[in-house]
Structure 1
Amino acid sequence: MITESRAVVEFHGGTARTGPLCWGQQGTWDSLAQWYPEVKPFFFLTRWLPVPLLLEVGDVLAVVGELLVRHESLRTHVSQPPGGEPTQRVLASGTLPVDVHDRPADDPVQFEDIVATCWERGTARPLDHSRELPLRLSIALHEGIPVVIAFTLSHLAADYTATDALVRELTAMLDAKASGTPLPPARPAAQPLDLAQAERSPEGQRRNVDAIRHLRSVLDRAPAPIPPQATPESPRFVGADLESDLLAVAVRRTARRCRTSTSVVLLALTTALVRSFWPEPRLRLDIMQGNRTSPEVAASVTTLNQVVHTITDLDGESLTELLDTATRAMAVARAHSRYDNRAAREVLRAGDLPPGVQFNDMWSTLPAGPRTATPSATTLTWPATSNAESMALYLDVRGTPTRIRLGAMADTAILPRADLAALLHTFEHLAVDWAEGVDGR
């Protein structure tokens, strides 16, 4: 029988600070207010990692405490008074409760099931950001020996890129602890309050003015909404995930062959396929930007993602034309990717943006991994449904260095379930054709 208990991480020696949210945090905070706790999965990021042999529970707790000291977002409370603005308060010291699950040798429960249970519990109740730290941590033991760490992290504290970086950093710190060597130094990085200060500088405000000007131009050029193309299902929105090794190889090969980035290739694939079912010549295309383009923010543990609204033409027949269009769209998104979300919302109140397609490439930030001799089979699953979406199609690209997970959430009034499955499979097939030069280049 698994024994459950509670431990505590203590952290000391940090700097206490108070100030406003940065723009990325502000957007997530407003989304929390709008959707949470009714729609929970988006607002939690779940990860696990193994614990090296020879470490005791106290060793693991000490390393986690050091991690919290390094990253202010992990030891921050956020609150908003009625009628006021949200404020983040960074703690100099404090504690983090940890759930401990000790499995005896004769227990049949697998550790992956323990991790799943930890994630389920970690996301089951809302986070009170004004009182709780944004991290819920569990340690799984085998006969008293730490084996696995599982955690759930608020999206207010980190985006996907930062969360993956945290896993890599914590892994390296645990390895050093196990080998008796000094912990690897923290990478220099801007903290969320540093970013908020920079955004309020004259240069930050000029950037915001330019982004808001771009948003007004998008409203002026917005196409008319398209009518339903099919009878919607109930729930109206359906999600699908295609996982493919071949897609990862093909996208990288096409990027090398055409001397462009994998993000541009993925966006070109998206627009090439969207026009197969989109009845209008222009499309509202929202491009999610990670905003980690400078050294001072590359290692920041916070949420920096902001969506950039654009309008794109669904024309072009050759691969060259499709890549050129995608390149221009990416350049526009990068140029206007940092802005005050509340100022943008005021602009949007003056006009309507029709539903379109949102593109979010998180895979291209991963380092290229070694190719496997035999690619794993492509799989298609249907993980979610929803009635609360505002776009016709969401495409999220994530996964591992060697395997892409192409996630989609589609409005079945625009793209029925069977058509969505066909689109995802065609995405892979078209990518392979481009990689092999079938486009005629």
Structure 2
Amino acid sequence: MTMQHSVRFSGQRTGDAPLTWGQQWLWEEVEKFAPHHEHLNLSEVVDVPEGVSLPDVLTALQRLLEQWESVRTTYSVGPSGEPQQHVPSGGTLDVVERTARAEEARSAAHALAAALRSVPFPLDGFPIRAGVVTSEGCPRHLVIVIFHLATDGWDLRNLLAEIKQLLAAPGEERTVAARIHPLDQSECQRGPEGRAVSERSLTYWKKQLLNAPADMFSGRAPVPESPRFQESYVESEALAVAIRDLSRHLKASPTVIFLALASVCLGRLTGEPRVLLLLGCHNRFSPSKRAATGPLYQDAPLTVDLAGADFQAVVRRTWRASLSAYSAAKWDPRLVEAAVQEVVRERGQSVDLSCNAIVMLEPHTGLPPSPSPADAGFVEALRSRTRKLKMPGTAQDRTGRRFFLRAQNTSRAVLTSLRTDTTVLSGEDCAQFLDDVEELAVRELLTISR
């Protein structure tokens, strides 16, 4: 059975502003895929604590909407043709309730999440949907779906922590933490501080672009597949152990280790002595930014020179390059676009910005210890548990993107995924690349542990 409830909310302020840089970065993809940009919807299922009633859940949603300006923001194109955002003073959110037997409540919640996620958000509507799965009259799971224009991965994690606290103490008065919202970010970015930050990033961008490869995949022209973009996933406990131990041996973060592995494999695949990845950065390096709402995510060119370097040297080069890239991932998209065109004219040839990477790896806890020195049999036993998955492809991707690599932790493994444009890399190449990353990590672990 399905019912619907209405949550009325009233925010503390209203306002209009141009999009933030992070929102502008996403807007490009929203426009390209419109109206079918449902792939930018993010969903989560939250367990509701025992003893919490349905009115408590609806009140928690109301308080979240009042506190989190980004999830009650609407978007439009202004008279000048530029996109803008509007935070209303209040509104109403419709919440779906579905009933299910207790043993089926979780699967019903995930089915509801998939249904809510599958519908694109209208830009002039609130960028959040919610549903509740109840059984025997009690709420069991809260489903939240949010449009990527309103959040990024870090912000979503903060939002989930907030809603869990609201559910854990329904009706309790809490001091609302001060947060930077997109209206504040937009104002700052248009002021002297924002212009100075963007100019520093532009200086870095131009330096990287002057020496960037003209075409990372020169000479590769496989027969395009249908659909054109192919995607593979690998979940590997062996890769998690190898990255953990390489990180300890080489005194570099798991992110740096993975980027070094990916750079070596990409260089071998393309034959390029220097690889360039657009590295996705969360841009949350201070307490106030870590608590900020809305998407702060942007990318920056990471250039790794592979010439004459063994793996340990590549790790050192990657570490230095990633520090610079992370510091330069805050920029005005219009200025960067102009800078790219300027460099292309100056070079007299194109700049390949088609390879993207998002790496969200933290030190793993709870992994099995590696023998010292590492035992090849032990590592191969881990590799035998590697899970591989071929995903349904897609007909299009973000403009200009031909290689999109991601890595993140699961409870006891590293989950990697790669989507490739089959005009340069086949679906088989896509799957093989992830295998190569795992194999290289294991080989380097065995070498360095001897």
| Aligned ranges 1:150-229 → 2 under 5 Å | 150-177=143-170, 182=172, 185-225=175-215, 226-229=218-221
Tell me what 1:137 maps to: 130
What is the TM-score when the length of structure 2 is the normalising length?
0.87
Flag the 1:37–1:315 CA change in 2: closer, same or farther, 3 A.
farther
**Equivalent pairs: percent with the same residue?**
27
Tell me what 1:290 maps to: 282
Query: What SS does the aligned partner of 2:180 have?
Result: coil
Check the 8 A contact 1:283/1:356 in 2, yes or no: no
Shift of 1:316: 4.3
Does residue 45 in structure 1 map to residue 37 in structure 2?
no
Tell me what 1:379 maps to: 387
Shift of 1:355: 5.1
CA-to-partner distance for each residue in 1:339-393, whole Å, 9 max, x for gaps?
01122223334433225421111233xx744347997932111123123233332
Shift of 1:302: 0.9
Query: What SS does the aligned partner of 1:275 have?
Result: helix
How far apart, in 2, do the equivalents of 1:369 and 1:162 lie? 23
What is the TM-score when the length of structure 1 is the normalising length?
0.89
How far apart, in 2, do the equivalents of 1:241 and 1:186 lie? 40
| Aligned ranges 1:27-426 → 2 under 5 Å | 27-41=25-39, 43-104=40-101, 110-130=104-124, 132-177=125-170, 182=172, 185-225=175-215, 226-350=218-342, 351=344, 352-354=350-352, 356-364=354-362, 368-371=364-367, 377-389=385-397, 390-426=400-436
How far apart, in 2, do the equivalents of 1:368 and 1:176 lie? 31
Check the 8 A contact 2:243/2:258 in 1, yes or no: yes
How far apart, in 2, do the equivalents of 1:87 and 1:208 lie? 20
Counterpart residue identity of residue 212, structure 1: L
Shift of 1:310: 4.1
Shift of 1:288: 0.8
Q: Which runs of 5+ in 2 are unaligned?
A: 345-349, 370-380
CA-to-partner distance for each residue in 1:111-147, whole Å, 9 max, x for gaps?
34423432333233331222x1110111111122101
Query: What SS does the aligned partner of 1:48 have?
Result: strand
Query: What SS does the aligned partner of 1:370 have?
Result: coil
Check the 8 A contact 2:304/2:314 in 1, yes or no: no
Shift of 1:175: 1.9
Shift of 1:149: 1.1
How far apart, in 2, do the equivalents of 1:238 and 1:270 lie? 18
Check the 8 A contact 2:233/2:390 in 1, yes or no: yes
Query: What SS does the aligned partner of 2:160 have?
Result: helix
Q: Which runs of 5+ in 1 are unaligned?
A: none
Counterpart residue identity of residue 90, structure 1: V
Counterpart residue identity of residue 87, structure 2: V
How far apart, in 2, do the equivalents of 1:355 and 1:18 lie? 33
Query: What SS does the aligned partner of 1:331 have?
Result: helix
RMSD: 2.5
How far apart, in 2, do the equivalents of 1:203 and 1:378 lie? 47
Tell me what 1:439 maps to: 448
How far apart, in 2, do the equivalents of 1:290 and 1:316 lie? 32
Flag the 1:355–1:88 CA change in 2: closer, same or farther, 3 A.
closer
How far apart, in 2, do the equivalents of 1:87 and 1:58 lie? 34
Query: What SS does the aligned partner of 2:293 have?
Result: coil
Shift of 1:233: 1.9
Check the 8 A contact 1:10/1:62 in 2, yes or no: no
How far apart, in 2, do the equivalents of 1:409 and 1:152 lie? 24
Query: What SS does the aligned partner of 1:276 have?
Result: helix
Q: How many residues align?
A: 428
Check the 8 A contact 2:267/2:274 in 1, yes or no: no
Counterpart residue identity of residue 112, structure 2: C
CA-to-partner distance for each residue in 1:79-125, whole Å, 9 max, x for gaps?
212433322222332221101101256xx8x3344234323332333
Query: What SS does the aligned partner of 2:86 have?
Result: strand
Counterpart residue identity of residue 388, structure 1: Q
How far apart, in 1, do the equivalents of 2:410 and 2:261 lie? 19
How far apart, in 2, do the equivalents of 1:290 and 1:66 lie? 26
